[in-house]
Each structure stands twice: as structure tokens, then as C-alpha cells.
Amino acid sequence: MTRLSVRTAGGAATARERAWARGLLLGFGLIFSLVSLTNHYLMRTAAFDLGIATHALRSYAHWRTHFTTELLDTPPTNFLSSNLHFALVPLLVSPLYWLLGSWTLLVVQIAALLWGGWGVHVFARARGATYGQANVLMAFFFSIWGIYSALGYDYHDNVVGAMAVPWLVHWFEQRRWDRAGLAFALLLVSKENLALWAAAIMLGLAWKHWRTRPLLLAAVLGAVVALAYFAVITKVVMPALSATHQQLTQIQRYQHLGGSLEAAVLNVATHPKLLWQCLFVNITADPNYNYIKAELWAVLLLSGGLALALRPWYALMLAPILAQKLLANDYGLWGINAQYSIEFAPVLALAVTELGLQLRAGRSRQRYYAASLALAALATIITLYTRQSKWYQRETTNFLLAKHYRSTQGLDVRRLRAALAQLPAEVPLSAQANLAPWLVNRDKLYHFPVLRDAQLVALLKTDKLPWPLSPEGYLQAQQLLRTRGDFRVRYEDDQLLVLERTRPPARPDEVLPFQL
């Protein structure tokens, strides 16, 4: 089998087509920055997950193991077993901390998305698409709703890992084993549960290439390696790093299906009615959560879902993603919010690319690609404004709204950042969630209302969503610290309150006694 040639398969590119490709990368890079970097500047990023990951990034940049202190009601825990996941991306990119500081992971996430989009372009060209068609397919990928949902809600390692998929498939099919191995490794180490996805991707490739023995064997081997990696990380490595994680914590979302991951899979596989209900029906007793799953299926269909049916090996690749979302008892996973849909983007783009290449070259193929782009963009634009999925905040994701560029809480951001910059580094500190990503320049950083040995407490005076406290509980916690005698006001203005401890803590593990 001859290697595919990116330079010759789709014909030569014109200067105009190359300019369009550069413009797409620049334009979408700007849009992604307007979503993500604007949120960070306006204090709309949070301790979970940007604060935790950036805090680890700083430790790795100082050549230290990181023990996260931001988790609620848990002792300091190795980052690689905390936050429910084993993720190596912060370690791999930690040198960039010295250049980009708290912006590092957001910039890495944007760069990864552009890299993934270019991977779709290369994949399409190598398989016979013209340069112009590859541009349309790259735009299709950049227009899928899952990207904007992820960018609108902080930083997540699985976004980076997902962007390796177009390159993994491309290099695998070219038999460039060294490059494919690197893409495969990046997918695995980005987050331990992506190993299950990696196994499905390799099985999909085995299905696609079942008549080509070398590719079939390589794909099956890849699936075995991915499953073995998942088992070792979750059963051995994570428990060894932290006594508080003796089992895969995520399984709690699926306990209604069985007491273990294996039991849940068997139960669903042997009860078709249960599977149908989980895939399409609100399994809670609360009617407010009706139609969230229907919304996901609708936008999936509009964004190239037909290609999944006609290229079923790509549907197999998405099976664990759909299972992770729809079989859970958490309605927050069912819909199209946050990072829980990013994996759809690369697989849909590959499926649409391949289906189009089966059409006659010329207008039929061009119309299919253009229609796919138009429908995906339409689905994304509509869902930027309105969603059935709960807890969607338009101002964090919809870059077309003027209020996206204003502080949600009416903060004077420049003055607030200047005040935070005056806080001493390396002093243990407890912070309100949205301040945490800006205060990582210390070994001990706690998520308020966790206090422990914090010498400083930094809080916004008011907060509409002071997770994990209610707005009332948040104000009560502030008042308690003002009056109980072991803290004094170090700094206060109309938007920021900084309290300083006046005597050693009575309890090293103190958490304020409010409902979490």
C-alpha cells in the first residue's frame, strides 16, 4: 500500500487558496481568543479547572511535584491523582509558564485547536480533496459547537488531547508509525479516560482497514495498549499517588447501571430497553431536564451526523463519548455545554471528509461540503444564543454579544488586578473561585471556604454564583471572618476584600461550617 501524498493527492494549490487557509487559521484563532482570553481577562475563569491546572503548571515550571490544595474537603493530593483525572499536559507545557504566566494553558488550548483544524485540512488533501475543499472542511471543523462550548468554560486537558485525533488517523493510514505513535501518546496522556476513547478510535480504524492486514493488526494492538494504559493508570498509578482515590471516581455517575464499570457495561449491553432510555430519555424524575438529550442528537445530526451513519467506523469511534455523556445520571453531561462535546469535532470532520470524497469530484462534492459547513455553523450560532442544556451562560461563550466583553459582575477589572498584584507571593491563601487563576504564585492555594493554614483570604465582595456556597452563605462566611477575631481586614474596596490571619489556626484542616 502506497503512502498518501499530501502534495499530490488533491492537486496543486493556488496562491488565493493558500491565502484563504492562512486567513481561516488567523480568523478562527482570533475568534477562539475572543471567547477564551476575554473570559480570563474579565475574571470569568475559575479554580476548577484553570486555577488547579495552572497551579500545577507553576510547580512543574519550578521542577517540583505538585500537590493540589484546591479540592474541597480533601488533604493536599498529588495533582496526577487529584481533580478526578491523570493529566500530563500541564507538565509537558510547563516551560511556557515563564513566558505566559496564568494565560499559558488557555493559549495552549487555542493553539491545539488550530493544530487540530490544520490536521483536518491535511487529512482531506491527502485523500483527494482540492485545497479549496480542504479549506471548507477546516472551516467546518472550526464551526462545530463543541469547540465554543469548551472555550466558553475554562481550560480542559481533553481539548488538547482531542486535537491529536486527525493527525493520529492521518499518520496511521500513511503508516508513519513514529508520528502516529506520538499523536496516540498525546491522546493517552492528556487525560486517563481518553484512553477508552483511544481504544474505540483504534477499533474504528481496524474496522475501516480490516482487509489490510498490517493496518488491522496495528489498530488492534493500539486498542489493547489503550485499554491496558487505562487499567494501569486507574487501578494502580492513581491509587498509589493518593490514598483518597482508591477507585475511578467517575464511576459514581454510572452507579445506577452497576457497581463497577464492567457491571455497568454488561447491564446496558444485555438490556436494550435500558440502553434506549439512557440514550434518548430523561432518566430523572425532574421534567426540567426533558429534551436535553434531544438537543444533543439534533445538533449532532446537523453537524454531519449523516456521515457517521454512512461511515459507521466513525460512529464506533464516538460510541464511548456518547456513552460517557448519555448513560450518566448527571444531566450536566447530557447536553452540549462545557468540554463534554469537544471529541465530536474531529471525528465529525473526518467522517464528513470521507463521505464527500465518495461523491463525484466537482460540484456535487463542493455542494456537500458547503452544505455541511452551513448547517454546522447554523447549529452553532443558534445554540450560542439559546440552549435546552442547563446552566448555559451566554456571556461566557457567545462572542457575538456585546455583554461578552463586559464583566458579568460589573467589576473594574484593571483596578481589581492591580489590587491582587499587591498580595505577597508564596503566602498560603484562600481565594474565591474566579480569583484563584490569578493567584497561583504560591505553593498553597485553597478554594474558599477551605481555610486550613491560609494567611490571607481574597474574596470578591459580592458574587452571584459563589460555588460551592450559596450567595447568602458566601456573605455569611465573609461576616464570620470579619467578626470572629483571628482575621483582620488587610485591604478592602467596593469590589475586593482581603483578610489577614492574626494568629495561628486552631485547626490545620479548617473549612468554614457552611453547606457546600
| Distance, C-alpha 237 to centroid of its chain | 22
pLDDT at res. 264:
79
Q: How many Å apart are CA 485 and CA 43, to the nearest integer?
A: 30
pLDDT of residue 509: 75
Q: In the predicted model, is pLDDT for residue 144 greater than 90?
A: yes
Q: What pLDDT shows up at residue 5?
A: 46
Residue-wise pLDDT tens digits, 352-376: 999 999 998 788 999 999 999 999 9
> Is residue 34's pLDDT more than 90?
yes
Per-residue pLDDT of 79-108, as tens digits, reads: 887 656 899 999 999 999 999 999 999 999
Task: Using alpha carbons, select from 374, 397, 403 the residue that is nearest to residue 384.
Answer: 397
Q: Is 51 exposed, middle or buried (0-12, 13-18, 19+ CB in 10 A)?
A: buried
In 143-246, which ranges are continuous DSSP H helix?
145-152, 157-162, 165-174, 177-190, 194-208, 213-232, 238-241
Q: Is the pLDDT of residue 447 over 70?
A: yes
pLDDT over 70 (residue 249): no
- pLDDT higher than 90, residue 240: no
Phi, psi of 460 (to 5 degrees): -70, 140
How high does pLDDT run on average in the chain? Answer: 91
Residues 324-344 have a mean pLDDT of 92
How many helices, marked H, and strands, marked E, lie in the chain? 24, 7
Summarised one tens digit per residue, pLDDT across range 476-491 is 999 999 998 899 999 9
* Cβ atoms of 390 and 292 closer than 8 Å: yes
Distance from C-alpha of 68 to C-alpha of 65, rounded to nearest angstrom: 10
CA 65 to chain centroid, in Å, comes to 23
The residue-averaged pLDDT of 321-337 equals 92
Q: Which helix (H) or strand (E) holds 78?
A: strand 77-78
- Whether residue 266 has pLDDT greater than 90: no
Predicted local distance difference test score (pLDDT) of residue 71: 60
Quickly state the pLDDT bin for 74 (edges 50, 70, 90): low
- Lowest average pLDDT, out of 5-14, 42-51, 252-261, 313-322, goes to 5-14
Predicted pLDDT at 6: 45
Please tell me the predicted confidence (pLDDT) of residue 85. Answer: 83
Listed residue (432, 447, 417) closest to 52, CA to CA: 447
pLDDT number for residue 516: 44
Mean pLDDT of 258-285: 84
